[in-house]
Amino acid sequence: PTSRVLAGRHVLVTSGPTHEPIDPVRYIANRSSGAQGTAIAAALASLGARVTFVTGPASVPPPPGTNVVPVETAAQMLDAVRSAMPADAAIMAAAVADWRVVSSSVQKLKKGESGPPTLTLAQNPDILATVAGLGSDRPRLVVGFAAETENVVENARAKRLRKDCDWIVANDVSPSTGIMGGSENAVTLITPQGEETWERMTKEAVAARLAERIATVLS
């Protein structure tokens, strides 16, 4: 039995994809299953943390013993994250859609004689950067993820600085890795102190190791 080293701490975890509506029946999404975020929330809860789990429409069930806040869009996720503050740490594992459809249709779009519709997209808010920039309300530890398909560590390093988060968990989500939607992950943890590449392991094992590291900062 692990000791409850995170008892009394509040940790926010975002997870899953977001869905950005096109019309009442269609949306833009991505291939995130929510498996890694779910495993992280479960691992933090098992160390005794109070966990707020803000999740988009994931394909795995949310972890028991957490405070689950289901959302659909990036805008809703940002609202839920703001409402969850203050937190001692924020672990932003969600695969937030970068773009939303500017004016999604109230009615289902029809195949018409005018041909296919043109979707105009707008940039979604960056939830991680928003949390990292909170000032006095900023969680003590803000952890982002960088899912990349090329120059993984270089891109992740730049992302850590640009978003002003403390740590970045970088992973290669090229289809050949089987990581996105799969049961294993191979990550590099980037901190101000340095970089560690972990061997490929189950997403639960990555979560347990990350939760232990988070506990060393918060306890």
Tell me which residues are annotated as active site. Answer: 30
Residue stretches of the annotated binding site: 98, 108, 125-128, 145, 159, 163
CB of 196 to ligand C5P, least distance (A): 18
Query: Whose Cβ is closer to ligand C5P: residue 3's or residue 151's?
Result: 151
Strand partners, 201: 185
Does 33 participate in binding ligand C5P (rule CB under 6 A)? no
Three-point CA angle 99, 101, 102, nearest 5°? 110
Write out the binding residues for ligand C5P, residues 86-105 only, by CB under 6 A: 92, 94, 96
- The letter for the amino acid at 103 is S
Write out the binding residues for ligand C5P, residues 55-84 only, by CB under 6 A: 74
Burial status of residue 128 (CB atoms within 10 A of its CB: 0-12, 13-18, 19 or more): buried
Q: How far apart are alpha carbons 107 and 102 in whole angstroms? A: 15
Write out the binding residues for ligand C5P, residues 154-183 only, by CB under 6 A: 159
Q: How far apart are alpha carbons 19 and 131 in whole angstroms? A: 21
Taking residue 60's Cβ as centre, other Cβ atoms within 10 Å add up to: 16
Q: Which stretch binds ligand C5P (CB under 6 A): 102-110, 111-119, 125-133, 180-188?
A: 125-133
Q: Which stretch binds ligand C5P (CB under 6 A): 44-52, 112-120, 140-148, 191-199?
A: 140-148
Q: How far apart are alpha carbons 149 and 32 in whole angstroms? A: 14
CB of 97 to ligand C5P, least distance (A): 7
| Binding test (CB under 6 A) with ligand C5P, winner from 32, 36, 66, 124 | 124
Helix, coil or strand: residue 195 = strand
